[in-house]
Amino acid sequence: MTKLFVYHKWATILFYISEYFEEHKERHTELMRQASQIGKQRITLKLPKAFMHFMKK
C-alpha cells in the first residue's frame, strides 16, 4: 500500500512537471537560444582573430 502510494505520488509529480514543460517549451527554447547566442558572442569577443579564422575552416 505504501509503495503504491509513493509511486502514485511520483507519477503525479512527473506528470505535472511534463505538463509544465509542454506549456513553456517554446518560451524555454527561445530563452536557451538567446542565452547561447549571448554566450557565443562573449566567447568570440574574447578569442583572438587568428583562432577564429582557423575555426571557420
Residue 24 has pLDDT above 80, yes or no: no
Q: What is the pLDDT of residue 11?
A: 84
Domain count within the chain? 1
Residue 57: pLDDT band (50, 70, 90) is: low
Give residue 28's domain range. 2-56
Q: Residue 16's pLDDT band (boundaries 50, 70, 90)?
A: confident
Residue with cell 577564429: 52
In the prediction, which pLDDT does 38 show? 72
pLDDT at 35 over 70: yes
Average pLDDT over all residues of the chain: 73
- Give, in order, the Cα–Cα distances in Å from 57 to each of 36, 37, 41, 46: 22, 21, 19, 19
